[in-house]
Amino acid sequence: MKLTKLSALVASTALCAPMAMAQDMADELTIVSWGGSYSASQKNAYHDPYTAMTGVKIINDESSAEAVAKLRAMNEAGNVTWDVVDVVASDAMRLCDEGLAEEIDHDADLAPAPDGTPASEDFGDLLVSECFVPQIVYSTTFGYRTDLVGDTPPTSVCAIFDLDAYPGKRSLQKRPIDNMEWALYCDGVAKDEIYDVLSTPEGVKRGLDKLGTIKDNVVWWSAGAETPQLLADGEVVMGSTYNGRLFSAIAEQNQPIAMLWDMQSFDLDGWIIPTGLSPERKARAMDYLRFATDTQRLADQAKYISYGPARASSAPLVGKHAELGIDMAPHMPTDPANATNVHIYDYEWWADNRDDLNAKFQAWLAK
Amino acid sequence: MADVSNLDAFVEFERVQKSYDGENLVVKDLNLSMPKGEFLTMLGPSGSGKTTCLMMLAGFETATHGDIRLGGTSINNIPPHKRGIGMVFQNYALFPHMTIAENLSFPLEVRKMGKTDREVKVMRALDMVEMGAFGGRRPSQLSGGQQQRIALARALVFEPELVLMDEPLGALDKQLREKMQFEITHLAHRLGITVVYVTHDQTEALTMSDRVAVFEDGRIQQLDPPDKLYEEPQNSFVAQFIGENNTLEGVVKEIKGGTALVQLDNGDLIDAKPVNVSKAGERTRVSIRPERVEFNKDRMPEGAHTLKAEVMEFIYMGDIFRTRLRVAGKDDFFVKTRNAPDQERLVPGQEIEIGWLADDCRALDA
Amino acid sequence: MSDTTQSGPVLAADGTPLKRSLSRALRRQKIRALMLIAPLLLFVLVTFILPIGDMLFRSVENQIVSETLPRTVVALKSWDATSGETPDEAVYAALAIDLKMAAEAKLHTRVGSRLNYEKPGISSLFRKAGRQVKKWDVENDGPYKARFLDLHKGWGDPDVWSTIQTYSPKFTNGYFLNSADMKKGADGPEWRPEDEQIYWLLLKRTMFMSMAITLSCIALAYPVAWILANLPARTSNMLMILVLLPFWTSLLVRTSAWKVMLQQQGVINDTLVWLGLVGDDARLAMINNQFGTIVTMTHILLPFMILPMYSVMKTIQPTYLRAAKSLGATNWTAFWRVYFPQSVPGIGAGSILVFILSIGYYITPELVGGTKGVFISNRIAYHISTSLNWGLAAALGAILLALVLILYWAYDKIVGIDNVKLG
């Protein structure tokens, strides 16, 4: 079984197969992603090699932020123009629930690890939805101004609630996800009981009350670029954002900022294939997906951006930054030194409770 | 009422100058004095400075130099709304968001007049211009002529002693214009108000005014009653501007006994009344009205110099005949004759002799 | 003329009644006119009327439940939600068949998401059950109640069943109730718990903020428009370019620029501290609050106020002011009684534009509004793009639309809509 699959892979990539397959696959791909340096890293690591190999023209669309709504609208109009879409895991789940993303047989559709480990094992727990192929692990974590914290830089996430030790403003994302977990954690709830507590009205109130202790000192952000800017301007002492944004501010712009990895919240970003594609386009999209999520490709992306590859087998292959020449491994959220105390985000729980809690969170925020 | 010291000078301009850019004078050394109750028209081509003078009097422009007096008091530093001068604008400037009655009531309101008094005055003013039934309408619902009457009524409703009118009839058609000319003059005389009227239409000026000030190049060229202005123009601009005129150019040979002998450029000699020529050898432009030219030998003034003329064109105009002649090498010489049973009709090609009374032919500046 | 003496209808030359002849001639004209505007009419229909109609329809539409779970809906009819008991076996059996068919068509998660808007947790209940039920033999595998309860204890929660029952009709007022911070209770609509009430507050805040923005736009735009309208054409054209300049800059850039200006370590605060007007430890909070939102939105929307004002003021001739002064009015009276009333149509048009635009803005309030400067459109955007609860978004949109129409109507009553001139 394993052998035949492997030989088929070799045949399809190395021999005359691409010629034969070109007939029943579209020769154009529209790939949707987030834009900026993230899209650039995908272009370098995935798109360019794929085009070089197959001659397929790849069109980049930077609409991931509105992908869920747009896919639904396209689906209702019966005209899906996207082939492969980069979304965060929670959006992938929603798309899957709405029947807007294709279910994927991870072992059959994706390449195994170089040592033959099937994809489902290589990705492991990160396969949070049947429709989702994870690409990177990123984390929402904290950065702080090294010059504004005195001699005692924060080592625990609970520093954000400690106005005495770290006076000044902090920036938090304008949504309940992560913030509620951090609040409960710092209010003394054990890590593995957070979601049980949060499932009760009292737990929600407890979380919001904890956040209420710093409410007047919080700048709420909704775009990932805001916290690095607020830190650079000295508007806030510390703030949460995506670890890659902080990496840019620290390593590329040399701002006086340092990372606080404690209780970083892992999240996943990856691919889905929209439903409603013609057989040729679907075949091409699947072919691309197989290529772009293999072990080497995922490791390659880490040369351009500080997000961890989603495959276990890619980790040893992570090298240096393509331009700065820095060793990238220590900047990965998945690096053992950074991942001593992480927060595991419960996708299923949030899929059920996101809208409800969001309404309560916004109501709390607005008052 | 207003000024006991000098009844003759109700409105006075003394050495008034106006410049907009500090380089050119739009009004140059204006002197004007008008008595109470006079209807004075400022006439001139556009750009001659007449409207600027009116605006200075109204207070919307300040004089660069000189003094403007109203009833003996200098008004240079009095803002427009305190001058108490009524004004009728070219486009009427009726406030479109107010009814006719509200428009008329406005100057009374700003004078803090009580409501009942206002209503009485507004009604009286509307009746005065025969628009009593239109108080509730909006200006846009009225015809041009009706708007004109309202504008007039509004300028008069607060009983100003001086009313300024800036080409108020410019937008009306010919018939209506003539009717309004008549009405305005009568109203002004009936109310005994002083009017300064600006127009570029000489007929209007002549028919309406007690006196006309002809403006050109920032100066008053002549200030006289209409008949004098027409019959005795003081210079060739006035002669040209007022009514129709024939001009011939030449040199003064001699001046003797109140008559100038002028040799035209082709050598012919004619008699003329010296107006602004003083000695022999001066170049001059003689001017003669078409209706004062005689070609009937029987009626030719005695001893007059005559000129040869060739009939170029005969134009039948109903009440009069206009005949274009070629005289002294120029073919734009006109003769006007009354359409009467015994009137001779000239035929193109016909050779005739023309002449005139020396008093009708005025030797003016060249 | 002779017609007056004729009795009976007036006839055309060919003997047909004149009225019919006229209406025939006019009809041909009307048809031709209609044909000429047909493309535009179609365009307006497709791009404006249909989407609005679709939105209004979505705000009450709820067919998904009865279409995906037809047997369950029928079986649930006789169940008494107030009993506190779970439904009987027949309902579970119906659900098993419905769910199996839905799962095969991959529709079970959709209905789960729909019901999850009303009761958190149903989404995963359906997702998990669908996966299992697909493998069942729904003819013989009973009893189903026990099997469902085995899958997840949530199936034994009467609230879940009452939610399905409440939202089984093809049309619902649930979205509108939600928009008004209410929900369907056992005995008709009831208020949501206080910690979930948000829309009413946001609606009031949106109205208040939009009014404040409109007023500050009027205050700032009036003098600018006046200057523009009264300057010589050459100068005013140049200044007009300055007014329009912001249109050529990205909205985000303008918003970010205001952040740089207004934040605590920003230009204005730095200047004030440098001048010694405020202490370094007492820097003013001018952004991430209502003040910041009003300032930024006023700046962004100002051209929409200036332009209609300018075009109206341009038509007000200076002679009106002169006339007023010649009639004895002071400068102020002349302005207030004569100029201002004539400029009202411009203010009206600008206000309508700015007000409607500002209640629909969400990007700027999201970025500079902090917690107190958020508009209701932010929630609409959230439900459109994140929660996919388009029904609720449509209901909120419909309420906003109704509100705008009411204000428009009120404006018509108070000021008169023919008193609006856009140019």
Q: Which ipTM was obtained for this model?
A: 0.86
Match domain A142-267+336-366 to its CATH number in 3.40.190.10, 3.60.9.10, 3.40.50.300, 3.10.580.10.
3.40.190.10
Q: Are B164 and B58 in contact (CB under 8 A)?
A: yes
pLDDT(C270) > 70: yes
Q: Write out the two tokens for C187.
A: 């005995």
Give the pLDDT of residue A20: 40
> How close C329 comes to chain B (CA, Å)?
6
B149-171: average pLDDT: 92
Closest to A272 measured CA to CA, from A127, A140, A57:
A127
Where do we find the tokens 């309406």?
B208
How many angstroms separate the most distant Cα atoms in chain A? 69
Q: Are C166 and C160 in contact (CB under 8 A)?
A: no
Residues contacting A9, CB < 8 A, separation 6+: A111
From the number of C-beta atoms within 10 Å of its C-beta (0-12, 13-18, 19+), residue B302 rates as exposed
Q: Are C423 and C311 in contact (CB under 8 A)?
A: yes
Give the pLDDT of residue B60: 92
C397/C251 same-domain check: yes
Give the pLDDT of residue C325: 94
Interface residue of A352, A356, A364 to substitute, partner C, most C CBs within 10 Å? A352
Where do we find the tokens 């002294």?
B328
Q: Do chains B and C touch (3 or more CB pairs under 8 A)?
A: yes
Instruction: List B287's β-bridge partners, or say none.
Output: B247, B362
| Domain presence at residue C333 | yes
To the nearest 10°, report the CA torsion of A7, A8, A12, A16.
80
| Domain presence at residue C178 | no
Instruction: Provide the terminal-to-terminal Cα distance of chain A, rounded to the nearest Å.
Output: 61
Residues A223-232: contacts with CB within 8 Å, 24+ apart?
A: A223/C367, A226/A171, A226/C367, A227/A143, A227/A171, A228/A143, A228/A255, A228/A257, A230/A169, A230/A171, A231/A143, A231/A144, A231/A145, A231/A171, A231/A255, A231/A257, A232/A257
Q: Write the CATH number of the domain with boundaries B244-364.
A: 2.40.50.100
pLDDT(A157) > 50: yes
Where do we find the tokens 């209706």?
B291
Give the pLDDT of residue C184: 86
> Which architecture, in CATH terms, is B11-236?
3-Layer(aba) Sandwich (3.40)
Q: How far apart are CA C325 and CA C339, in angstroms?
A: 12
Q: How far apart are CA A49 and CA A42, in angstroms?
A: 10
Q: Are C230 and C375 in contact (CB under 8 A)?
A: no
Give the pLDDT of residue C174: 92
To the nearest 10°, report the CA torsion of C178, C180, C183, C187.
-150
Q: Do chains A and B touch (3 or more CB pairs under 8 A)?
A: no
Average pLDDT of chain B is: 90
Give the pLDDT of residue C22: 87
Give the pLDDT of residue B100: 96
Q: Which DSSP category does B62 fall into?
A: -
Q: Are C349 and C312 in contact (CB under 8 A)?
A: yes
Q: How far is CA C176 from each of CA B167, C58, C160, rounded to the nearest angstrom?
A: 65, 11, 21
Is B314 within 8 Å of chain C by CB? Answer: no
Give the pLDDT of residue C339: 95
Instruction: List A84's β-bridge partners, or say none.
Output: A31
Q: Do chains A and C touch (3 or more CB pairs under 8 A)?
A: yes
Instruction: List B39's β-bridge partners, or say none.
Output: B195
Name which of C317, C319, C325 is nearest B81 (Cβ-Cβ): C325
Q: Write out the two tokens for B282.
A: 């001066």
Question: Which chains neighbour B (Cβ–Cβ under 8 Å, 3 or more pairs)?
Answer: C
Domain count, chain C: 3
Give the pLDDT of residue C422: 64
Give the pLDDT of residue A319: 86
Q: Residue C377 belongs to a domain with what CATH number?
A: 1.10.3720.10
Name which of C327, C329, C334 is nearest B154 (Cβ-Cβ): C327
| Domain presence at residue C242 | yes
Give the pLDDT of residue B305: 78
The answer to whether the Cβ–Cβ distance between A363 and C195 falls below 8 Å is: yes
pLDDT(B101) > 80: yes
pLDDT(A332) > 80: yes
A210-236: average pLDDT: 92
The answer to whether the Cβ–Cβ distance between C106 and A99 falls below 8 Å is: yes
Question: Which residue type, as a one-letter code, is found at position B143?
Answer: S
pLDDT(C143) > 80: yes
Question: Which chains neighbour A (Cβ–Cβ under 8 Å, 3 or more pairs)?
Answer: C
Q: Write out the two tokens for C206.
A: 């949106």
Q: How far is CA A72 from each of CA A61, A69, A96, C387, rounded to the nearest angstrom?
A: 16, 5, 11, 12
Q: Which DSSP category does A115 fall into?
A: T
> How close C397 comes to chain A (CA, Å)?
16
Q: Are A212 and A185 in contact (CB under 8 A)?
A: no
Name which of A234, A235, A355 is nearest C387 (Cβ-Cβ): A355
Where do we find the tokens 């609050």?
C289
* Angle between helical axes of C122-133 and C144-151 (0-180°, round to 10): 120
Residues contacting A244, CB < 8 A, separation 6+: A37, A38, A138, A305, A306, A307
Is B62 within 8 Å of chain C by CB? Answer: no
> How close B207 comes to chain C (CA, Å)?
27
Give the pLDDT of residue C7: 60
Question: Which chains neighbour C (Cβ–Cβ under 8 Å, 3 or more pairs)?
Answer: A, B
C133/C275 same-domain check: no
Name which of C317, C326, C330 is nearest B58 (Cβ-Cβ): C326
Under the banding of pLDDT at 50, 70 and 90, the label for residue A187 is: very high
C255/C311 same-domain check: yes
Residue B119 CB coordination number (10 Å): 16
Return the HEC string of B290-336: HHHCECCHHHCCCCCCCEEEEEEEEEECCCEEEEEEEECCEEEEEEE
Q: Which domain holds residue C135?
A: 63-172
Q: How far apart are CA B58 and CA B93, in angstroms?
A: 15
Q: How far apart are CA C30 and CA C49, in angstroms?
A: 23
Give the pLDDT of residue C423: 57
pLDDT(C2) > 70: no
Under the banding of pLDDT at 50, 70 and 90, the label for residue A111 is: very high
C221/C154 same-domain check: no
Question: Which residue type, as a one-letter code, is found at position C180?
Answer: A
Interface residue of C371, C387, C396 to substitute, partner A, most A CBs within 10 Å? C371
Interface residue of A87, A97, A229, A367 to substitute, partner C, most C CBs within 10 Å? A97
pLDDT(C142) > 80: no
pLDDT(A4) > 50: no
pLDDT(A12) > 60: no
Give the pLDDT of residue A13: 44
Closest to C164 measured CA to CA, from C83, C87, C84:
C87
Residue B168 CB coordination number (10 Å): 26
Residue A147 CB coordination number (10 Å): 10
Residues of A in contact with C372 (CB under 8 A): 366
Tens of pLDDT, residue by residue over C351-374, are: 999 999 999 888 889 888 888 878
* Angle between helical axes of C89-104 and C108-116 (0-180°, round to 10): 120
Average pLDDT of chain C is: 89
Residues of C in contact with A353 (CB under 8 A): 120-121
Under the banding of pLDDT at 50, 70 and 90, the label for residue A16 is: very low
Q: In what order do the strands lie in the sheet with B219-224?
A: B85-88, B162-166, B194-199, B39-43, B211-216, B219-224
Nearest CA in chain B to C339: B95
Give the pLDDT of residue B330: 85
Q: How far apart are CA A84 and CA C65, in angstroms?
A: 30
The ranges assigned to domains in chain A are 2-131+273-317, 142-267+336-366
Tens of pLDDT, residue by residue over A31-83, are: 999 988 899 999 999 999 999 999 999 999 999 988 999 999 999 999 999 99
| Domain presence at residue C216 | yes
C152/C217 same-domain check: no
Question: Which residue type, as a one-letter code, is found at position A309?
Answer: P
Does A2-131+273-317 carry CATH code 3.40.190.10?
A: yes
pLDDT(A237) > 90: yes
3-state class (DSSP) for residue C192:
coil
Give the pLDDT of residue A7: 45
The answer to whether the Cβ–Cβ distance between A69 and C112 falls below 8 Å is: no
Where do we find the tokens 């080592």?
A155
Q: B230-239, C15-24, C46-55: which has the minimum mean pLDDT?
A: C15-24
Closest to B54 measured CA to CA, from B71, B67, B42, B46:
B42
Give the pLDDT of residue C6: 53
> How close C123 comes to chain A (CA, Å)?
6
| Domain presence at residue C281 | yes
Residues of B in contact with C327 (CB under 8 A): 81, 86, 106-107, 110, 154-155, 158
Instruction: Provide the terminal-to-terminal Cα distance of chain B, rounded to the nearest Å.
Output: 46
> How close A53 comes to chain C (CA, Å)?
35
Name which of C112, C121, C201 is nearest A97 (Cβ-Cβ): C112
Residues of B in contact with C331 (CB under 8 A): 81
Nearest CA in chain C to A175: C382
Prediction pTM value: 0.83
Nearest CA in chain A to C202: A366
**Rounded to 5°, angle at Cα A342 from A341 and A347:** 160
The ranges assigned to domains in chain B are 11-236, 244-364
Give the pLDDT of residue C1: 43
Last residue of a domain, one of C28, C58, C88: C58
Where do we find the tokens 């909120």?
C396
Closest to C348 measured CA to CA, from C403, C295, C410:
C410
> How close C412 comes to chain B (CA, Å)?
17
3-state class (DSSP) for residue C325:
helix
Q: Are B162 and B156 in contact (CB under 8 A)?
A: no
Q: What is chain A's Cα-based Rg?
A: 21
The answer to whether the Cβ–Cβ distance between B87 and C329 falls below 8 Å is: no
Residues of C in contact with A68 (CB under 8 A): 385-386, 388
Tens of pLDDT, residue by residue over C107-141, are: 999 999 999 999 988 998 998 899 888 888 877 77
Nearest CA in chain B to C342: B97
Q: How far apart are CA A131 and CA A144, in angstroms?
A: 37
Question: Which residue type, as a one-letter code, is found at position C376?
Answer: I
C322/C228 same-domain check: yes
Under the banding of pLDDT at 50, 70 and 90, the label for residue B300 is: confident
Tens of pLDDT, residue by residue over C230-259, are: 999 899 999 999 988 888 888 888 888 999
Where do we find the tokens 């170089």?
A114
Under the banding of pLDDT at 50, 70 and 90, the label for residue C226 is: very high
Q: How far apart are CA A124 and CA C135, in angstroms?
A: 25
Q: Which DSSP category does B265 fall into?
A: T
C174-187: average pLDDT: 89
Exposed e or buried b for every residue in B225-236, given b needs 16+ CB within 10 A? ebeebbeebbbb
Residue with the bigger pLDDT between C6 and C190: it is: C190
Query: Over pLDDT 70: what percentage of chain C?
Result: 97
Closest to B277 measured CA to CA, from B156, B165, B361:
B361
pLDDT(B139) > 80: yes
Q: How far is CA C286 from each of CA A174, A220, B223, C219, C295, rounded to the nearest angstrom?
A: 19, 15, 70, 20, 9
Residues of C in contact with B59 (CB under 8 A): 325
Name which of B86, B87, B95 is nearest C338 (Cβ-Cβ): B95
Interface residue of C110, C116, C119, C284 to substitute, partner A, most A CBs within 10 Å? C116
Phi, psi dihedrals of residue B13, rounded to the nearest 5°:
-110, 125
A289-314: average pLDDT: 92
Give the pLDDT of residue A10: 43
